[in-house]
Amino acid sequence: MKKKDFSNEKSDQLHLHTTDSSDQALTTNQGLKISNNQDSLKAGERGPSLLEDFILREKITHFDHERIPERIVHARGSGAHGTFKLNKSLAKYTKAKFLSEEGKETPVFVRFSTVAGSAGSTDLARDVRGFAVKFYTEEGNYDLVGNNIPVFFIQDAMKFPDLVHAVKPEPDNAIPQAASAHDTFWDFISLMPESMHMIMWAMSDRAIPRSYRMMEGFGVHTFKFINEAGKMHFVKFHFKPKLGVHSVAWDEATKISGKDPDFHRRDLWDAIENGAFPEWDFGVQIIPEEDEHKFDFDLLDPTKLIPEEEVPVELVGTLTLNRNPDNFFAETEQIAFHPGHLVPGIDFSNDPLLQGRLFSYTDTQLSRLGSPNFHEIPINRSINTVHNNQRDGHMRQQITKGKVSYEPNSIGGGCPFQAMWKDGGFASQEERIDAKKIRARSESFVDHYSQAKLFYNSQSAPEKKHLQNALIFELTKVTIPAIRERVVGQLAFIDKDLATLVAKKVGVEVTKLKQPNGSIPADADPKSLQSAEREPATKSSEALSMKNTVKDSIKSRIVGFIMEDGVKAGDVNSLKSKLEGKGAVVQVISGGLSPVTADDGTSYTPKHSLTSTSSVCFDALYIASGKKSADTLLNEENRPGTIHFLNEAYKHCKAIYFGDATEEILNYSNVGKKNHDDHAVITSENKKPADEFVAAIASHRVWELETERNNPA
C-alpha cells in the first residue's frame, strides 16, 4: 500500500486558503462584487451617511478588529515553513512515528521571537529568543516550544507572572521597552538566587545573536520518551545551526536597532527567498529512567542543563526552513503553540515550570485568538481530520454531520470511538505517586550557583569580557544602590573576580548575600542547603562557548563592496565570483546610488550609499581595487563616511580586505595598519588574499582584537 504524503497534504491544505487577487473584481466578504469602493452611501452628495450601507459597515468593522491582542511574551516574532527529516531512527526510545522511521519527512512551521518587547520593538534587544517548532505529524500536531537558551530564570511556574511583570516596562511610566536594564527587573533578580544561571546566559553574547539562523534551539525542560514496550527514558531536545552559533557586538546591536530594527526578520526572509535555506541538526540527550538521580543536579530543575561531557547530544535529524509565509498575520501571528500538544511516545516530566505552562498556553490562545476553535485556523490545523464531540463556539469552521455529539452512544454506531494504545491512542506514562499535598520545593532544587559557575568558566576571554560589560551596562541603569549591591552579592558566589570588577564599576561593595531557604521544606537536609559554594561536577564545557562553534562556511554572509568610478573590474568580478560561489551575498556600496563605471566600462549598481547604511549591517567589507576609486572615496565629500565605515567595522572585529591601490585608505584609517598578524585585515600584499578573506569571514570575528587593542566592542 502506498504511503500517504503528509508533507504535500499540509502544503495543499494551507494553500486552499491562499487568495490570489490578480485579475479579480473587488468583493465583499460574502463574495458580492463592489462597483464603488470610493464613496459611502449618503442621503444626498453632502448629506449624512446611511446606516444601511452594509458595504461600508463590513469594511470598517473588519478594519476595527483586524488587530488581535499581541502575545504577552514573545510578541515580536518571525516564522517560516519547512521540513524535518529524520536521519536516524529513535524507535528504540520512542514510538512517535515521526521519530521512528529513518528518512521520514515531516512538515513544520517555526516561529522565532524575542521575549520581553512588544510586537513593534527591535529585533536586536538583549533578550532570550523563542524557538518554537510545530510538527504536523500523521499522529497529530506536536509542538516543541523552546528557546535559544537551554535554561530559564525560575524553577516554578508560580513565579512566571512575577518574572514577566518585573522585566516588562515599569507600570508607572511604561519605560523601558524591550530591555531588562531597569530597577524592577534587577530588583527581582537580586532576590532570586535561582535566576543566576540564566543571568549568565542572558548577559552573554547568546542574547544578541547575529541571526535566527545562527542560534541554537533547546526544549529547555526534561521530557519523556516512551517506546512500544512502555519503557521510559528522559530526554532533552537540541537544535544546532549548520552555520554555527554567532553573535553581534553590543555596540553593533544598539546601532542596528537604529539602522534596521527588522534586521533578524529581514535576514530570515531574504535567506529563504535567496535559496540559502536555514538548517539545524536536531539532537537528543537520552537518560535512562534508572539514571534519573545520578547527576549533581535535578533533571526536573529548568534552571539546569545536562553538560554534553556527561551526556553527549546524539544528532538524529535535520530541520530545514524553505518557504516564507504567504501572509504574516494569518500564519506567523495566528500560529498557536502549546507544550501540551503531544503525540504518542512523548510525554511530560514533573518539571514544575513545564507543568504550569500546560495550563497557561491554552488560556493565552483563548484570549488572543478569541475562540476555543483556534485549532481550525489553517496554520494550526492538524493534517489529520479532527473527529470529536466538541461543538460550536465562535468562528466554528468544521461542519460535522449527524445528530450525535456525545460518547458513549449507539445512534452513531459508537463513533467517534476511543483508540487503543496499541493502535496509536495516546496514553500517559504510568508513574507511581505517593506524596503529601504541599506547597514546597524539592531540596534537590536548592543549588543555584554551580551551573552559573560552569557557564562562566566555559567562556573564552572575549566572551567573559562581553558578559562583564553587559552586567556593568545593565546595573548602571539601576537607580537604587541596594539593588546593585544585592546583585553583586549574588555574583560573588559565581566568581569573585567578576563580582569585584562589576562592583567597582557600579559603585558598591562586594558583600555575599545570606542565602534564603525560600519554600524548602522545614525537614530538608541542612547539608543540601549549603549550595552557594558548591562546585559543578563538570568544571568547564566546550559546548557552552561560541569560540568552539562552526567556522567553516560563509554561506549567506553579507559582504559589502565599497567602490567608486574607476574600480578594477577584473579584481571585483574575480572576488565576487569566489564569494558568491561559496554562498555569500555581495552588495555594492558607494557614495551615492548612481551606477559605478569600472576601468573596462563595466557598470555596477550600488544597493546602498555610505550614508544610507552602516558597517553594522555587513559581515565583512572589501575596499575594491583601483586608485581612481580609492581617491574618490577619500575626497572631501566621501572621506568621513568611508573612514567611519572602516573604523567601525574594525572596532567590531570584522574582516576587511583592502584591494590593490587602496593603501592610502588603509593608512588614513585606524584599521590594523601594517600589522600582518592582524587576521581581520587583508591586503593585496598577502600571499593569497582572497582565500584569507574567505577564511576570515568564515571565522565570523577576530574577537581577540578587543583585548589586544584594549578597545572593547
- SS3 category, 456: helix
CA-nearest of 343, 194, 346, 208 to 264 is 208
How far is residue 97's CA from residue 568's CA, in Å, rounded to a whole number? 58
3-state percent breakdown (helix, strand, coil) of the chain, nearest 5: 35, 15, 50
Residue 239 DSSP code: E
H helical segments located in 337-435:
352-369
Catalytic position from the list 81, 141, 147, 375: 147
Nine-digit cell at 580?
Answer: 558568491
Nine-digit cell at 303?
Answer: 534552571
- Tally of CA atoms within 13 A in the half-sphere of 264 that contains its CB: 29
Whether residue 338 lies in the annotated active site: no
For 605, residues 6+ apart whose C-beta sits below 8 A from its C-beta are 588, 593, 595, 596
Distances (CA, A) of 171 to 187, 262, 483, 499: 15, 26, 19, 30
- SS3 category, 244: coil
Evaluate whether 680 touches 696 at the Cβ level (below 8 Å): yes
Evaluate whether 178 touches 253 at the Cβ level (below 8 Å): no
Burial of 212 (0-12, 13-18, 19+ CB in 10 A): buried
Whether residue 341 lies in the annotated active site: no
CA-nearest of 192, 96, 111, 683 to 452 is 192
User: CA end-to-end span of the chain, whole Å?
Assistant: 61
CA-nearest of 377, 343, 287, 372 to 139 is 343
How far is residue 493's CA from residue 449's CA, in Å, rounded to a whole number? 7
- Tally of CA atoms within 13 A in the half-sphere of 630 that contains its CB: 19
Evaluate whether 201 touches 455 at the Cβ level (below 8 Å): yes
CA-nearest of 112, 110, 111, 113 to 82 is 110
Residues 272-277: contacts with CB within 8 Å, 24+ apart? 272/80, 272/321, 272/322, 272/323, 272/324, 273/324, 274/556, 274/585, 276/555, 276/556, 276/583, 276/585, 277/82, 277/320, 277/321, 277/322
- Tally of CA atoms within 13 A in the half-sphere of 669 that contains its CB: 29
Q: Give 609's strand partners.
A: 590
Evaluate whether 683 touches 658 at the Cβ level (below 8 Å): yes
Residues 422-428: contacts with CB within 8 Å, 24+ apart? 424/139, 424/344, 425/344, 426/342, 426/343, 426/344, 427/344, 428/347
> Could you give the residue numbers annotated as active site?
74, 147
